[in-house]
Amino acid sequence: MNKLLAISAIMLSLTLFAPLVFAGGGGPVTTSEPLGVENDATSFTQEINKDLLKVLPFKDMRDFENAQRGFIARGESVIKDTDGNIVFSTKGFDFMQDLKQKAPATVNPSLWRQMLLVNITGLFKVHEHIYQVRNYDLSNLTVIEGKSGLIIMDPLVSNEAAKAALDLYFEHRPKKPVVAVIYSHSHIDHFGGVRGIVDEADVKAGKVKIFAPYDFMENAIAENVMAGNAMSRRASYMYGNLLPKDVKGNVGAGLGSSTSSGTVTLIPPTNIIKDPWEDHVIDGLHFGFQLTLNTEAPSEMHYYIKEYRALCPAENVNHTMHNLYTLRGAKVRDSKVWAKHIDNMLLKWGDQSDVLFAPHHWPSWGTEDIKAHVAKQRDTYKYLHDQVLRLANHGYTIDEVGDMVKLPAELDSTWASHGYYGSISHNARAVFNFYLGYFDGNPAHLHKLPPEPAAKKYVEFMGGADNVIKQAKKTYDNGEYRWTAEVLSHLVFAEPNNQKAKALLADTLEQLGYGAESGPWRNFYLSGARELRTGVKAMPTPNTASPDIIKNMTPTMMLDYMAVRLNPEKSAGKKIKIGFKFTDINELYTLILENSTLNNRIGLEDDVETTIVTTRATLDDIMLGELTIDKGIKSGAIKVEGIKGKFKELRAMLDDFEFWFNIVEP
């Protein structure tokens, strides 16, 4: 799910040899008197949403039957950590408990239907020996009963949530030892709660095996590091973290309701799936693994359990169109490879499967229903891929294809092909970008002005601020919200203190949010409206710099991120060469500054000016804020050989990133 704040937040204020601090926001924030309050849906928005009731198959209740099938117990509504802090709660979404409740005017009815399904919570029997705990976190905890013990798949985001989910299972099933864990892929909601499930000592002793796809550790730690601060800030919009949970605010994210905020943990896998197809016997069960790299995650795999005729497609098959590009920011995913892996899975195991279960949403049962569902998921991604390239080869651009691609009737009438998490619009543009990049070929767009100076010119050409507001009010009153938002955004960037412009833009974004089928689209629109009305206010940011995450970062990864923070003005004309000697892991590194560029090499070069001699364990303590450099030097945990002060000089050239930067204002 390359979707969470968690790993990317690790890098919010990462300073090599400086403590990581995440509690609280930082930096300048924009505040103002609130610009009005939340509005009701206008007649235009209501009409758009009502039309959906006429064209979508709302009478088809099979998903509601499947989502409730095998229900055993609801369990806890509130999960707390050992200090009593709430790490996950379903209470905020209690307004969505009535499955027969019609969609309010302020929520797209298709999204409302999806979130009613997602909020069905508790322990469920999937198969005689497979159980799931759903909506205890963004993802599902799956318990597979082996011959002597339990095999746990994808232990949620945090150890508190995972422990609570397993405790619910044990309330209703025999308490057997966990003998294996499966990480289906490298996103944090599929491994972060592992210490709530197993003890690392048992893993090291060989009592518990952990299976993961090739290159899991690299991707689990590194995927969001380099742009982590920007990704995390944008994720606060994508998941509606700043929005109230109500019918005018956050109703969920399409893939799940929300994420837990407990302790993120990680135990390295013991068994890596490296080949395209591998067979393993785990606690007496025959597992077939399919490696599916560069699909929904860079490191991902499907698996099939022969004895149970049970198939798990990881996060490549869901009850939604997933993201080919995630709005918080990430590398674009390969839709052709994604579809091909689904098809290969279908060919190998489709006819042999009685149940399909996944780390999100609810299962499917029956061979023919499974095959139909999987095939339509495959075709959704393949259709987007092929049609975008068809249009691109006709000369249409990245901004045009998002509106031009429409799903065929066979897919559009299938709920799982709808964009509750991804969307046709941004996924189509993602395919274009994957092959052709952001540039549309028009030389007028090759070197456009940046947003602020361009906005001032736009407003000047449109006759000034008063005329823009006058014209925008007309288009707003006519329900032309997309155009109104585009025009008013120019005015807000030209005149960020223009309260009338901000208020009208907020109203416009709000209506766009009320009509959005995608949970992330809704959250982006409504988060933007909220910030325009109340300003950017520093709030607590994710505290996910856990010891497990830090100790599994490679020294190269830390040094690479240090280079991202190098300020070229501060480093102009400087040359520094620093060595690092980690005595406990017997690794040497050299950091080289020249040409306002910071490179690192494995090995200690002869001409370094300074060498920092320490242990990797000491580095972990420093990064976790448990030890300062001065205390480390004083205690002898850190030794500096050569010229003193060179590392301090380099540290002064590094930028610190503020989390709460503006998004809807300059």
Average of per-residue pLDDT values in the chain: 92
Residue 29 has pLDDT above 60, yes or no: no
pLDDT in tens, 90-147: 999 999 999 999 999 999 999 999 999 999 999 999 999 999 999 999 999 999 999 9
pLDDT for residue 626: 85
Residue 277 has pLDDT above 70, yes or no: yes
Residue 252 or 229, more confident: 252
Q: Is residue 27 part of a domain?
A: no
pLDDT in tens, 286-304: 999 999 999 999 999 999 9
Residue 223, φ and ψ in degrees, nearest 5: -55, -40
Q: Is residue 369 part of a domain?
A: yes
Q: Is residue 409 part of a domain?
A: yes
419, 435, 451: which is the final residue of a domain?
A: 435
Strand partners, 89: 78
Length of the chain: 666
385, 408, 435: which is the final residue of a domain?
A: 435
Three-class SS state of 452: helix
pLDDT for residue 364: 98
Q: Is residue 521 part of a domain?
A: no
Segments forming the whole domain that contains residue 335: 6-10+58-435
435, 463, 489: which is the final residue of a domain?
A: 435
pLDDT in tens, 547-595: 787 788 889 988 898 899 999 999 999 999 999 999 999 999 999 999 9
Residue 70 has pLDDT above 80, yes or no: yes
Q: Is residue 258 part of a domain?
A: yes
Q: How many domains does the chain have?
A: 2
Nearest to 648 by CA among 576, 587, 550: 576
Contact 521, 402 (CB under 8 A): no
Contact 476, 485 (CB under 8 A): no
Residues 101 and 239 in one domain: yes
pLDDT for residue 35: 59
pLDDT for residue 37: 67
Q: Is residue 603 part of a domain?
A: yes
Residue 55, φ and ψ in degrees, nearest 5: -110, -20
Query: What is the DSSP secondary structure assignment for residue 178, as one 8-state letter?
Result: E
Q: Is residue 188 part of a domain?
A: yes
Instruction: Give the Cα-Cα-Cα angle 313, 136, 195 (nearest 5 degrees).
Output: 80
Q: What percent of the chain has pLDDT over 70?
A: 93
**Chain-centroid distance, C-alpha 490:** 29
Residues 431 and 566 in one domain: no
Taking phi first (over 0 means left), then psi (-120 to 50 degrees means alpha), and beta for anything else, what does residue 108 get? beta
CA dist 440 → 35, 92, 435, 498 (Å): 37, 43, 12, 33
> Hunting for tokens 């919010």 — which residue is that?
12
Report which secondary-structure segment, H or E, holds 87: strand 86-89
pLDDT for residue 625: 77
- Average the pLDDT over 277-294 and give the result: 98
Q: Is residue 15 part of a domain?
A: no
Residue 630 or 322, more confident: 322
Three-class SS state of 31: strand
In sign, the C-alpha dihedral spanning 7, 12, 16, 20 is: negative
Contact 399, 438 (CB under 8 A): no
pLDDT tier at 21, thresholds 50, 70, 90: very low
Taking phi first (over 0 means left), then psi (-120 to 50 degrees means alpha), and beta for anything else, what does residue 252 get? left
Residue 33 has pLDDT above 70, yes or no: no
CATH number of the domain within which 645 lies: 3.30.1050.10
pLDDT in tens, 139-172: 999 999 999 999 999 999 999 999 999 999 999 9
CATH number of the domain within which 282 lies: 3.60.15.30
pLDDT tier at 540, thresholds 50, 70, 90: low
